[in-house]
């Protein structure tokens, strides 16, 4: 491994962003449920929006993401 190879290693180690079944990253998947969840939380808080939060998580899981 030469000096130039040493500096190239970090770029090669970068993993491609994970995409779901629709070909979108997690931030762009399930926009419908995300929009409803995001609108609800400031008004009702997380406790008041658990149904919408769980629907969004279910959608993300259906896309293939590992959501806790």
Let me know: does 54 contact 37? Beta carbons within 8 Å.
no
Check the annotation: does 59 bind a ligand.
Answer: no
Distance between CA 19 and CA 64 in Å, rounded?
Answer: 8
Check the annotation: does 27 bind a ligand.
Answer: yes
Let me know: does 29 contact 20? Beta carbons within 8 Å.
yes
Q: Show binding-site residues for Cu cation.
A: 27-28
Q: Show binding-site residues.
A: 27-28
């Amino acid at each position: 491994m030469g000096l130039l190879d040493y500096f190239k290693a970090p770029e090669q180690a970068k993993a491609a962003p994970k995409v779901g079944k629709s070909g979108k990253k997690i931030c762009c998947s399930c926009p419908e449920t995300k929009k409803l969840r995001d609108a609800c939380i400031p008004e009702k808080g997380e406790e008041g929006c658990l149904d919408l939060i769980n629907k969004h998580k279910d959608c993300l899981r259906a896309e293939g993401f590992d959501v806790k």
